[in-house]
Amino acid sequence: MILAAGRGERMRPLTEHTPKPLLVAGGKPLIVWHLERLAAAGFRDIVINHAHLGGQIEAALGDGSKWGLRIAYSPEPPGALETAGGIATALPLLGEQPFLVVNGDVYCDFDFGRFLPSTVAFAHLVMVDNPAHHTGGDFSLDGQRVIYANGEQTLTYAGIGVFSPTFFAGVQPGTVMKLRPLLDAAIAAGTLTGERYAGRWVDVGTPQRLAELDQELRAA
């Protein structure tokens, strides 16, 4: 599942008329970088949620056949449902096995194929070293177990994770709900696992970071 429902407030004015996942870096929309990598990794069925200017996303990507994929869409109401609410609403499209979730507004060279097929039992997060705009981080790791940030070695959630459908069992479809309360509950129960990724990753959250990424990719 690619999360593409956010309005992209920090990206304004670019997102006034274009949904953030369709903003271009290196000659192609951000979300297309994901689709290409997912297809190359062996994924075939993709679910994309959308809200703000979602019709543009469907028009641009179609049924996914251009990339050898099958894309299903999960429309959300204006304002969207936040991460947990959006995923819970899309569960009927996601099947009964653990599924990969990727934020539509990050760029990375992560090997998604590592999670196909997935052996994750409940929830597993990919985390990265803290970027300059988020120096406090989100969590810490104790081996493979995700724990609360301990102030010494913190990491930032990369917007890449694998989740079992049961992780969202308590969230009613159509509910507005963030992901963090579910992650906190899993940490408390000792069931949240994770890993550190040291490769290329960018949170493309501002026009400046988009421009920098665009320049980097064009130079490459």
Q: What is the DSSP string of 44-69?
A: -EEEEEE-TTHHHHHHHHTTSGGGT-
Number of domains in the chain: 1
Question: pTM of the prediction?
Answer: 0.94
Asked if residue 41 belongs to a domain, the reply is: yes
Q: Distances from the Cα of 17 to the Cαs of 41, 48, 57, 115, 204, in angstroms?
A: 32, 19, 12, 34, 17
Asked if residue 42 belongs to a domain, the reply is: yes
Asked if residue 210 belongs to a domain, the reply is: no
Better pLDDT: 119 or 171: 171
Asked if residue 107 belongs to a domain, the reply is: yes
- Tens-place pLDDT, residues 32-74: 999 999 999 999 999 999 998 999 999 999 999 999 999 999 9
Asked if residue 57 belongs to a domain, the reply is: yes
- Tens-place pLDDT, residues 98-152: 999 999 989 999 999 989 877 787 999 999 999 988 888 999 999 999 999 877 7
Q: What is the mean pLDDT of the chain?
A: 93
Residue-range definition of the domain harbouring residue 39: 2-199
Residue 8 banded pLDDT, cuts 50, 70, 90: low
Which CATH number does the domain housing residue 44 bear?
3.90.550.10
Asked if residue 64 belongs to a domain, the reply is: yes
